[in-house]
Amino acid sequence: MLTRLKTQVPLFSMNSYTKLREKLKLSGLSLASTHSHVIRLGRHSRHNSKMAVCIAVIAKENYPLFIRSVPVQNELKFHYTVHTSLDVVEEKISAVGKAMADQRELYLGLLYPTEDYKVYGYVTNSKVKFVIVVDSSNTSLRDNEIRSMFRKLHNSFTDVMCNPFYNPGDTIQSKAFDSIVSAMMVQAS
Amino acid sequence: MAQCVQSVQEFIQDSFVPMVAVLCSEDAEKVTRKNNLNFSELLRPFCRLTSEGHMRDPSNQLQVVKNLRISVNNVVTRPSVPSSGVPGHAHRRLLSEVVLTCQPAEGGVANVITAGDYDLNISATTPWFEAYRESFLQSMPASDHEFLNHYLACLLVVSSSEAVPVEKFLKLSQEQHRIQHSGEYTNPKWFIPNTLKYYVLLHDMSQGDEQRADSVYEDMKQRYGAQGCYLLKVNSRTAAAGADEQIPDPWSQYLHKSSLQSQDQYEDPAPVVVNNTAVENNVGGTSEVDGHDSEEKDGVLVNSLDNTHPLQLDTPSDTPGSLDALRAVAVETKPPPLTTGVAAATSHGACLTLNDHDRIRLFIQEFTFRGLLPHIEKNIRQLNDQLVSRKGLSRSLFSATKKWFGGGKVPEKSIAELKNTSGLLYPPEAPELQIRKMADLCFLVQLYDLAYSCYHTAKKDFLSDQAMLYAAGALEMAAVSAFLQVGAPRPYPAHYMDTAIQTYRDVSKNMVLAERCALLSAEVLKSQAKYSDAATLLIKMTSEDSDLRSALLLEQAAHCFINMRNPMVRKFAFHMILAGHRFSKAGQKRHALRCYCQAMQVYKGKGWSLAEDHINFTIGRQSFTLRQPENAVTAFRHILTNDSQQTSTQQGAFLREYLYVYKNVTGACEVALPQLPLPCINSSATRVYFGHERRLAEGEKQAATHVSLDQEFDRDLAAMWQDLEEQVVAAAKRGVVPATFQSTQCCLNSQTDNLRFPLAVVEEPIIVEVVFRNPLKVPLVLSDLSLLWKFTLKDFNRPQTQEDSVGDAVPISNEKEASVPRTSQKDDVIATEVISEFYLSPEETKLARLKLLPHQTGQLNILGLVYNLASTSSTGDTTINSTAASQTEGPSAAEGTSVRGRQDLEIQGPRLNQTKEEKTSVSHGPDRRLDPTITPPMPLLEVFFLQFPTALLCGEIRKAYVEFCNMSRVTLCGLRVASTHPDFFTFGSSSLATPLTPLSPTSFENCSAYKTLATPPGATPGSVAAVTLVSEGDFGSGTGLRGGVSGAGTGGKGITEIPLGEGTLKPGESTQLPMWLRGPDQEGVHEIHFLFYYESAEKGGKISHRVLRHTVFICASRSLSVRATACRSNTLPEEEEEERNGSMLVFVDVENINSSEAGVREFHIAQVSSSSKQWRLHKCINPAEDKDCKLTSRERGKLCFRATRCKPLQVTLKAAEKYTFADLSLGNELIITSTTPCADFFFRRCQPLESLRPPVAMETQGRHSRSQGVGHGGGDKDIAGVVRKCNEVDLDIIILWKAFVVEDNKQVILEGQLHVALQTIDKEACSLTPKEEAQEMVLLKFKPELPPPMTRPSMEQLSHLIKTNLQYPESYSHPFNQKSLCMVPVTLTLSNCSLAQVDVIIDLRHKTTSPESLEVHGSFTWLGQTQFKMQLGAQEVMRVQLRACFLHAGVYNLGTPRVFAKLADQGAMCETSQQTATPALIIIINST
């Protein structure tokens, strides 16, 4: 429990930071964004979203097996976001002791919030990472729903792995997986 | 955050130092000017005090002041301007310059950080950031809410050369007073109303009167006190002495930046700052302008805004394809200003000796310790007293502070409600400010404890007054002083800083202050290893208003991430990218590039291709704008060659940028053609073809297929061809394959043997097929595509001497010429074909065939390809706006994106795997595909086929024509052909060259392929056979055929020499030859390969021979199936007594098995011929009623012939090897089978039985030879041979047929022949060899099979030893009434079929076991001797007279005698019952 708390500390500070940001936004102050201005992507048309905007599967060796994002123009940004989130994933995994690694919960929870998105993580026992990015305006999404999304994703991924024609380590090109992912994604309006 | 040179404490201390103003008289200025310095500059290097100072705090305790620095600056005045939080324009530019000039050293210190699987090379220090920070802090404008950078003292400097120095001092003093108190100027700001004035008399040693100076100084001491004035003697060096003396120049490092700055400003078209003291003045450039020339202000500002300065301009946007932006940058970017020139040119302190340096140092020390510190001490005391008295507090400040501090959290109170009062200003003498003032004083002289408590108090006051700006300032300083307290009694209050920053930024909108606060706080946090907090803080400070600041802070944040205990590599990388982006927006391209490069290390090769591409693209652009085109090219190349996941639009943009950049690079250096990365070339798939491209059909003519690039390589086929070639070479070289034999390879690819230099012939083209792959989603256009080669001239005809080969070796190359498209590329040596345009669709793999035509002999090396690479022409993409834009601009943009470059073809040979070293290491053999040797001319054969069928009936004979052309200028000879199906074709026998064959194919039409003779009209068809004797040798191929079977290896079995007129073909000549084809016996599609072999008439060339390949596909459909059996005839031939035992019956069973109903209407058996060494067909026994034997579909006919042995004379004649052809025509014309087509095919027939059981055949042969030597005494082994011999027939039947085919309402007669080989009596033979299905699935045998055990001849075989024949009257009348017994004489003829003696036992005893002969009435008895025992010699015929006795009239079967036989010398063997003859019926008639 102690280790848990420790890892929460930087997260919390980040979190409070975004809260602050939100507050400031509400008070009508313009705030420079740290992440979005680089790739200069304004917020695109609001999706009446219930679901993820980006879903990624990352291999054990931290290269992408699958990345899908909904506003296709933002692809690069999501790539960066997902890649950066790996740091947090690794931090969270390493925070769990070696001995406890087996009982570790696969769902990692919120990795880090940016001002536009929330990034959630999930790591399988074989260290394959799932990352789901959700629009941060989307408050209707509960932690449980995210959890079940990950579980669905994991099941589908297992199916992909079971396919004898799939070479472990290749990018995923399964139609079934694709459709599962699409079902979780926001339909681009 | 990167490591800094200074420690945190040092840094903070240096950030806040006591400020000292300087007022200088003109004369004094002149003195210092000699050194290229003004007075404050002169002092600057000595402003840090090396010795400790002491002072007392208000509680009268002695405090040590260590390592104090003071800041000395000229007074610059300006009227009151409201100080805003937004830094001025010039201020920004100044910072930008500072950062720009501070670049990482080339190959400088970099430390490697290993995090997980990342090894990062990161510069440990960020001097540009420190430089920025330093200038930023130094250039902080003085503000009202704090006093830290207000002037504490003023140096009044007067030269000793002044007429009345004291007066001047007075003037200056008044001036100072005016500046401070008149209210005209808000700047500079002064700390305390009664500023410390320190009088300095400057004495120039080189010219002034020293004594006078001393006296003036004495006077001053009287007037201002010893502690308030100083005599400074400088310029003690004379110009003459100074030439050779080297004096260190401590000013350079302090003034470096400023001189640069000024230099840059001179270049600037709008000189904003006239005075080069811009840096020293703590105020921004704008203020200075105002001070000097306020009228100019507006214009200048406008100017400088208009003028496109990198700060505002041209941030290369991320939108793809903004080529224009890139171009603009490329045009605008000038080489970076020279950084060292100016600094070197102006040397400082030229008139100062080291002594002078010491004097100045001493002066500063004196001033600080005697003047400044006491002054500060006094003021602190005063303020303290004042405060204590004003507050009316009896307690000391300390206790009060403690109470308040524990009191609770006032500052965190809601900010939002306080913001209205942020504009609150205290009057200068307000008591709240007095506390602050005192705190600042304490802070400056390192009394941090006191400072902290003062700040804390002040903070509370301000907060309660809701003066947010003031409160923030107090909070900030409280935090800093808390941190700096020795022994750290309380933890660093980070939240103070957070609140301060927030307030500065959001309430006061003063970004400069917020930034200062953040810088301090981050540094402190960093020192406490709170990297995460520091990073957050820094990231928070990034904003849109200053790209430079954002960039620097982001970079620092990135460094924080990497310095964390668990380095966050990816966050580092991401923030580096952000920093890079901001740098590039800020015009700091070099820094931007560096950031991107550092981030690249994280992304590189990790599979994040999208991100990688983005970074590479940016690096490419930045490199290009920074005039590092090589890097740009590398980066761009990386994007293009990687399997990109980018969209096509993006790729198109990448490509265009790449081409554009490339063009600029190549424009710069025209030495060699650059290597292009696109399209990808699969070099190992390169194929090289030697020879002309072939036309396959030319009118009716059908050319030999040979080898072409369109065929795919087939290893089995290649082996087959090589085998054929070896055979034909062996045949040509009289049975010996030369050791140097190398099969001809016309087309080289990755699977062929490329170890040797291939041989090409001069004047014959070399075609290189290159496989291009376009990895992009945009089309590519290659234009002016041609091969690059190098050629070494060599004359192979001349006898080669050592010197020759060395002397000649001057390689010629077309590399130079090729660099410019559309120039003649040395066509006299080797003509190079140029493909003017080659289009590659997106992601397409396409082949290009490039031709070279060598005109001279020598060694050629094909080096690579040269081409113009361009993205698509305009029509293709309308999606990209920028393209459209650039096109509207003019055509140049579209055309400009074409780049000429090359790509080398380097083919790696196969991996070597022979020796142990080769197996353990990875080494590759050479691949000489692209290095052909050009040899002197060789003949070149072209073969054309005329009227060559594609479908045949099995056994059908067709005549076709072949044309041989010699296309070269060299005579051709030794033409041969080898084939996989030698039985398929014949050129006729040369010896029996038939004049009958029409020579031209046109006259061929209705002529039979056979040579025929009309049968005499009266003759019954099939009655008498025409007989011809032919030797096999006449049909040249025959020997080969047979020889091949016997395994003598004299040559391949399918080799035919082609009868050319004189054995040669002259250049340009062509000849036509007839060729007969016979449909294969097996139905189905047959792939038949021909290999034409020919040599040059001139021997000794590098190429010994050449070959031409041809493959045909023949579809064979079923025609007739012929089965034949030979039986011994039981009747004795009466007429030809001499031919003992020499008759046989041959039954031929013909069935029409043709299934294609449409084609063949009926078959006619035109003729049956035999061919054998011993037998011949004699006559047809049952000539059918109709003359021709007709067979419609699925009909079956039977023919019976008698065969006789050839005349013994013929047999014994010189050639036992001669074949007797006997023709029995069933029609009205006789086909002479012994002539060309028929006999040819007969001899070329495949021999099913022999091939089926070759070991047995060999066996018999072997045994024969042995038995001859040993005689007849041989044991068991002999029996079989003898026995078989007697059953052997060895008669071949040739069935000649005609098929009537209806084709297009026209009847066509097809002819054909089928062969049946009869070998054993009573054994059916068939024209169709049974399909051996079992052969398909042969079990793998791990042991060699044991040879089959020597079998004794089987019972069946032994039963054929003796032929029996009963001779008796067919019917016999006997008057039973008269004589009850009827005796009939019967002759039993026994003929020995074998060549050995046979013991025979005849048993007449009635022991019929057959049920039908059981009937009593049908019984008869043999009379007389009932058992005979005799011996028959070889082929002896013996007659035994028997008598049969009948009791009744009736029909009787006489065939009851049983004959047993055994070979005479085989004692151990028991006799075998011989085959019973057919029932011999006799009719006994009662003649009454």
* Nearest chain B Cα distance for residue A12, angstroms: 11
As given in the structure block, the two tokens for residue B448 are: 């941090």
Minimal-distance CA residue of chain B relative to A75: B610
- Look at residues A157, A176, A134 and name the one whose alpha carbon lies nearest to residue A59: A157
As given in the structure block, the two tokens for residue B177 are: 């007073």
* Nearest chain A Cα distance for residue B1351, angstroms: 57
Report which of residues B144 and B930 the model is more confident about. Answer: B930
As given in the structure block, the two tokens for residue B223 are: 């007037």
Same-domain pairing of A57 and A36: no
Measure the CA–CA gap between B399 and B339, rounded to whole angstroms: 56
Strand bridging mode B196-204 / B229-234: parallel
* Chain B interface, Cβ < 8 Å to A: 116-117, 317-318, 416, 506, 532-533, 536, 539-540, 542-545, 550, 554, 561, 566, 568-571, 573-574, 577-578, 581-582, 603, 606-608, 610-611, 614
Least confident window among A21-30, B889-898, B1184-1193, B1207-1216: A21-30
Find the helix or strand (DSSP H, E) in which B532 lies. Answer: helix B531-541
Tell me how many domains chain A contains. 2
- Return the DSSP state at B1022: T
Same-domain pairing of A112 and A168: yes
Q: What's the distance, Cα to Cα, between the start and end of chain A in Å?
A: 43
CB contact under 8 A, A86 and B570: yes
CB contact under 8 A, A83 and B318: no
HSE, CB side, 13 Å, CA atoms: give it for residue B701. Answer: 14
Cis? peptide before B1353, omega within 30° of 0: no
Q: What is the mean pLDDT of residues B176-193?
A: 76
Q: What is the mean pLDDT of residues A76-99?
A: 81
Residues B860, B932: contact at Cβ < 8 Å? yes
Measure the CA–CA gap between B609 and B603, rounded to whole angstroms: 8
Q: Which of chain A's residues have a Cβ under 8 Å away from the Cβ of B117?
A: 61
Same-domain pairing of A69 and A26: no
Q: Which residue has the tokens 């003019």?
A: B890
Give the amino acid at A116: D
Please indicate if any CB of chain B lies within 8 Å of the CB of A94. yes
Determine the Cα angle at B47 with ends B46 and B52, to 5°. 100
As given in the structure block, the two tokens for residue B702 are: 């059908």
Measure the CA–CA gap between B802 and B807, rounded to whole angstroms: 9
* Nearest chain B Cα distance for residue A63, angstroms: 5
Q: What is the pLDDT of residue B979?
A: 84
Identify the sign of the CA torsion B419, B425, B431, B434: positive
Q: What is the pLDDT of residue A2?
A: 38
Ordered alpha helix ranges (H), chain A: 2-26, 75-95, 143-162, 175-184
- Look at residues B555, B543, B461, B462 and name the one whose alpha carbon lies nearest to residue B510: B543
Is A47 among the domain residues? no
Q: Is the pLDDT of residue B1279 over 50?
A: yes
- Look at residues B132, B138, B109, B86 and name the one whose alpha carbon lies nearest to residue B555: B132
User: B84-88, B127-131, B823-827, B1287-1291 — which one is most confidently predicted on average?
Assistant: B127-131
Q: Which of chain B's residues have a Cβ under 8 Å away from the Cβ of A94?
A: 566
Q: Which residue has the tokens 């005479």?
A: B1464
- Classified as helix, coil or strand, B361 is helix
Average pLDDT, chain B: 71
CB contact under 8 A, A13 and B416: no
* Candidate from B117, B543, B610 with C-beta closest to A32: B543
CB contact under 8 A, B116 and A79: no
- Band (B997; pLDDT cuts 50, 70, 90): very low
CB contact under 8 A, B607 and A64: yes
- Band (B176; pLDDT cuts 50, 70, 90): confident
* Nearest chain B Cα distance for residue A140, angstroms: 28
CATH for A176 = 3.30.450.70
Give how far Cα B611 sits from Cα of A56, A73, A74, B617, B625, Å.
14, 13, 12, 10, 21
Same-domain pairing of A75 and A36: no
Is A21 among the domain residues? yes
CB contact under 8 A, B536 and A83: no
Q: Is the pLDDT of residue B914 over 60?
A: yes
Residues B1421, B1445: contact at Cβ < 8 Å? yes
Please indicate if any CB of chain B lies within 8 Å of the CB of A59. yes
Same-domain pairing of A14 and A90: no
A136 Cβ contact partners less than 8 Å away, ≥ 6 residues apart: A18, A113, A114, A115, A116, A117, A118
A124 Cβ contact partners less than 8 Å away, ≥ 6 residues apart: A106, A130, A154, A157
Same-domain pairing of A179 and A115: yes
Residue-wise pLDDT tens digits, B493-541: 888 888 888 888 887 777 788 888 888 888 888 888 888 888 888 888 8
Residue-wise pLDDT tens digits, B74-92: 777 655 444 444 556 667 7
- Return the DSSP state at B372: I
A23 Cβ contact partners less than 8 Å away, ≥ 6 residues apart: none
CB atoms near residue B1446 (< 10 Å): 21
Is A67 among the domain residues? yes
- Band (B5; pLDDT cuts 50, 70, 90): low
Helix, strand, coil: what percent of chain B each, to 5? 35, 25, 40
Strand bridging mode B956-966 / B1306-1320: antiparallel
Report which of residues B341 and B1373 the model is more confident about. Answer: B1373
Same-domain pairing of A70 and A158: yes
Using CB atoms within 10 A of its CB, is residue B6 exposed (0-12), middle (13-18) or buried (19+)? middle
Measure the CA–CA gap between B203 and B209, rounded to whole angstroms: 8
Q: What is the pLDDT of residue B490?
A: 73
Same-domain pairing of A134 and A102: yes
Q: What is the pLDDT of residue B485?
A: 79
Strand bridging mode B1160-1172 / B1288-1303: antiparallel
Q: Is the pLDDT of residue B1017 over 60?
A: no
* Candidate from B318, B545, B608 with C-beta closest to A79: B608
- Look at residues B599, B462, B487, B1299 and name the one whose alpha carbon lies nearest to residue B477: B462
CB contact under 8 A, B571 and A27: no
Give how far Cα B1018 sits from Cα of B983, B1013, B1015, B1022, B1185, Å.
37, 14, 8, 12, 16
CB contact under 8 A, B540 and A91: no
C-alpha B1230: how far from chain center: 69
| ipTM tops the 0.90 cut | no
Measure the CA–CA gap between B1204 and B1289, rounded to whole angstroms: 11
- The residues that bridge with B838 in the sheet, in sequence order, are B782
Q: Which of chain A's residues have a Cβ under 8 Å away from the Cβ of B544?
A: 30, 32, 37
Measure the CA–CA gap between B1265 and B1259, rounded to whole angstroms: 10
Residue-wise pLDDT tens digits, B1364-1381: 777 888 888 888 888 888
Q: Which of chain A's residues have a Cβ under 8 Å away from the Cβ of B116?
A: 90
Please indicate if any CB of chain B lies within 8 Å of the CB of A64. yes
Minimal-distance CA residue of chain B relative to A86: B570
Same-domain pairing of A114 and A145: yes
Is A45 among the domain residues? no
Measure the CA–CA gap between B659 and B633, rounded to whole angstroms: 9
Partner B, chain A 26-45, Cβ-Cβ below 8 Å = 27, 29-32, 34-35, 37-40
CB atoms near residue A176 (< 10 Å): 11
HSE, CB side, 13 Å, CA atoms: give it for residue A9. Answer: 11
Residue length, chain A?
Answer: 189
Is A46 among the domain residues? no
Q: Is the pLDDT of residue A32 over 60?
A: no
Residues B1180, B1200: contact at Cβ < 8 Å? yes
Is A58 among the domain residues? yes
Report which of residues B99 and B595 the model is more confident about. Answer: B595
Strand bridging mode B1120-1128 / B1084-1096: unpaired
* Candidate from A27, A63, A84 with C-beta closest to B574: A84
Q: What's the distance, Cα to Cα, between the start and end of chain B in Å?
A: 147
How many CB pairs below 8 A link A and B?
75
- The residues that bridge with B1121 in the sheet, in sequence order, are B1151
CB contact under 8 A, B581 and A38: yes
Q: Which of chain B's residues have a Cβ under 8 Å away from the Cβ of A13?
A: 532-533, 536
Is A163 among the domain residues? yes
Please indicate if any CB of chain B lies within 8 Å of the CB of A79. yes
Q: Which of chain B's residues have a Cβ under 8 Å away from the Cβ of A54?
A: none
Q: Which of chain B's residues have a Cβ under 8 Å away from the Cβ of A17?
A: 536, 540
The DSSP annotation for B706-764 comes to ---TTSPP-HHHHHHHHHHHHHHHHHHTTT---TT-----SEE-TTS--SSPPEEETTS
Q: Which of chain B's residues have a Cβ under 8 Å away from the Cβ of A75?
A: 610
Residues B564, B531: contact at Cβ < 8 Å? yes
Measure the CA–CA gap between B490 and B512, rounded to whole angstroms: 28
* Nearest chain B Cα distance for residue A157, angstroms: 19
Q: Which of chain A's residues have a Cβ under 8 Å away from the Cβ of B542?
A: 32, 34
Same-domain pairing of A33 and A100: no
- Return the DSSP state at B369: I
Same-domain pairing of A166 and A86: yes
Same-domain pairing of A61 and A126: yes
Q: Which of chain A's residues have a Cβ under 8 Å away from the Cβ of B607?
A: 59, 61-64
Q: What is the pLDDT of residue B1280?
A: 65
Segments forming the whole domain that contains residue A7? 2-40
Residue-wise pLDDT tens digits, B394-422: 444 444 454 454 444 444 444 444 444 44
- Band (B110; pLDDT cuts 50, 70, 90): low
* Nearest chain A Cα distance for residue B120, angstroms: 15
Is A162 among the domain residues? yes
Q: What is the mean pLDDT of residues B145-154?
A: 80
Least confident window among B673-677, B1004-1008, B1436-1440, B1458-1462: B1004-1008
CB contact under 8 A, B606 and A87: no
- Look at residues B580, B582, B539 and name the one whose alpha carbon lies nearest to residue B561: B539
Q: What is the pLDDT of residue B341?
A: 39
- Look at residues B1290, B1346, B1348, B1345 and name the one whose alpha carbon lies nearest to residue B1319: B1290
Q: What is the mean pLDDT of residues B1263-1284?
A: 50
Measure the CA–CA gap between B41 and B24, rounded to whole angstroms: 12
Measure the CA–CA gap between B376 and B18, rounded to whole angstroms: 10
Report which of residues B424 and B662 the model is more confident about. Answer: B662
Q: What is the mean pLDDT of residues B1117-1138?
A: 68
CB contact under 8 A, A38 and B578: yes
Q: Which residue has the tokens 């002016």?
A: B784
B1340 Cβ contact partners less than 8 Å away, ≥ 6 residues apart: none
- Determine what percent of chain B is predicted with pLDDT higher than 90: 0
- Look at residues B586, B774, B818 and name the one whose alpha carbon lies nearest to residue B100: B586
Residue-wise pLDDT tens digits, B556-569: 888 888 888 878 88
Average pLDDT, chain A: 71
- Look at residues B918, B915, B925, B919 and name the one whose alpha carbon lies nearest to residue B755: B925
Q: Which of chain A's residues have a Cβ under 8 Å away from the Cβ of B532?
A: 10, 13
Measure the CA–CA gap between B996 and B458, rounded to whole angstroms: 134
Report which of residues B1354 and B782 the model is more confident about. Answer: B782
- Band (B693; pLDDT cuts 50, 70, 90): confident
B1250 Cβ contact partners less than 8 Å away, ≥ 6 residues apart: B1045, B1257
* Candidate from B536, B581, B611 with C-beta closest to A13: B536
